[in-house]
Copies of this chain bind each other. A is one copy, B any other.
Amino acid sequence: MNAPVITQIRRAIPAGFLEALAEHFGERYSNAQAVREHHGRDESSYAPMLPDAVVFAQSVDDVVWVARHCHRYCVPLIPFGTGSSLEGHLLAVEGGVSLDLSLMNQVLSIHAEDFTATVQAGVSRKQLNEALRDTGLFFPIDPGADASLGGMSATRASGTNAVRYGTMRENVMSLKVVTADGRVIETANRARKSSAGYDLTRLFVGSEGTLGIIVEVTVRLYPQPEAVSAAICNFPDLDAAVRSVIEVIQMGVPVARVEFMDAGAVRATNLYSHLNLKETPLLLFEFHGSPAGVREQAELVQAITREHGGMDFEWAEQPEDRNRLWTARHNAYFAGLQLRPGCRSNTTDVCVPISRLAECVGQTAIELDQASFPYTIVGHVGDGNFHVLMLLDPDNPDEWEQSERLNHRLVERAIAMQGTCTGEHGVGLHKQVFMLAEHGQDALDIMAGIKATLDPHNILNPGKVLPAALTN
């Protein structure tokens, strides 16, 4: 289970291919080094691998045109949203064209009575919520970055609200997709449910640009809660925190967010966000509902946490306090990086059944404590998903190897516990090595068959999701 060394092997670009692209896209075509560098990387630690050119689509027709052009000449085509993915998704491992969708950033429609909105793929989650501000509705999915809705669909993203509102899997109602050969399909309609045929929506959600190019996204919206409150609770250890969360869910408390931070993550956050949180393992709760309902939820949670050894249950009822707290949580990644100036990071993303979470984190922490580098842990504990941020000296290859070994052991542990190598980041390049252990050869063969059916020339983000041996 060692990560293979990835070498860029560019496909041959036919003579005249790039010139035709340049002619079609005019100023929205670039082969400048800086533009290609920006598009050949993401937020992972991989060194960039540059596409041959970048085009900026303004319309579905643009996307259709470039898909047909690439399909005809077997040239790789890599959809690009905001570049915030974390697993090497955007590296041009076979060269080709990066298709930047950031200019497709229109909110196309908001149907407030139906609790749906349709946006172009380049619209970001914050932009959507800005557009929703006067409707009384909001879109809950919140990965750390202000990612595009197209990218979030492609990676099946989630974040801190998933315990209550689900992930992109549950909240994408329909997609407009351009296929590898330039056909345009709608995967569904705006009905809340349908049994009419195979679920193409869910097939494209999480396909990481390898099965089609997502150009429009219709999502579910939710009423802005009448009342919101947040609370922090310190714990002697993770096990006590997890026991609390299991009981909270068993009691039917519809908690909106419940996030775990280890003492190291709290320390980093205190430093970075100028807070004074007590530096022990802690849970961060948020409650949504009516004023009375929120109060009731919080009181019940306070009682449950106390029984499990929770201490210093503290409220954040003012919006500015809450926002400061959640902003700090969303910045935990950057806060962690600051613990070791100049470091690069390696981030894990396993998700396990919640009954195994404390054990999984605990065993991992014991191993991490032996490592020569610092680390922090944060977790979407209601979902059993947690991230270890390993802070590595970029000049010390041994640390990278150590961190990879630790991640491999962590993923093996998670899979043995009936969990997954990636809860929300996606496979990209970095998690491919685990796909066989997680899914088995027969399931991977089925995935590869689907890929071959939808993208027979393997032009769509080649080298991602499935091990290359299955798709070449």
Contacts and interface: CB of A to CB of B under 8 A. Distances in A.
Nearest to A87: B195
A236 interface: no
Contact of A223 (B207, B252, B440): B252
A36 interface: no
A466 B251 CA distance: 44
Given A136-B250, A189-B420, A193-B167, A454 B446 contact: yes
A372 interface: no
A246 to B, nearest CB: 5
Interface in A165-209: 166-167, 169-170, 179, 183-200, 202-203, 205-207
Contacts of A401: none
Contact of A195 (B179, B355, B426, B452): B426
A398 interface: no
Contacts of A207: 198
A424 B195 contact: yes
Contacts of A293: 289, 293, 296
Interface stretch (A68-76, A155-163, A303-311): A155-163
A269 interface: no
B194 A351 contact: yes
Contacts of A281: none
Contact of A191 (B136, B211, B351, B439): B351
Interface residues of A, number: 99
A449 B185 CA distance: 14
A158 B424 CA distance: 27
A404 B323 CA distance: 56
Interface stretch (A92-100, A108-116, A330-338, A340-348): A108-116
Given A246-B113, A384-B192, A450 B447 contact: no
A49 B352 CA distance: 46
A467 to B, nearest CB: 11
Contacts of A453: 446, 449-450, 452-453
Contacts of A252: 222-226, 288-290
Contacts of A188: 420
Contacts of A114: 353-355, 384
A40 interface: no
A205 B199 contact: yes
B191 A420 contact: yes
B353 A385 contact: no
A241 interface: no
A206 to B, nearest CB: 6
A431 interface: yes
A211 B200 CA distance: 14
Contacts of A197: 206, 427, 435, 438-439, 444, 447, 465-466
Contact of A424 (B193, B354, B466): B193
A422 interface: yes
Nearest to A135: B250
Given A420-B191, A450-B453, A452-B453, A196 B439 contact: yes
B158 A196 contact: no
Contacts of A418: 189-191
Top 3 A-B residue pairs of the complex, sorted by shortest distance between their CB atoms:
A202-B202, A194-B420, A113-B355
25 contacts: A113-B353, A157-B195, A158-B193, A162-B192, A179-B442, A184-B442, A185-B440, A189-B418, A189-B419, A191-B383, A191-B418, A192-B383, A193-B420, A195-B420, A195-B425, A197-B206, A197-B427, A197-B438, A197-B465, A199-B203, A224-B252, A252-B288, A252-B290, A293-B296, A446-B454
Interface of A: 111-116, 136, 155-158, 162, 166-167, 169-170, 179, 183-200, 202-203, 205-207, 211, 222-226, 246, 249-252, 254, 288-290, 292-293, 296, 300, 349, 351-355, 383-385, 414-415, 418-427, 431, 434-435, 438-440, 442-444, 446-447, 449-454, 465-466
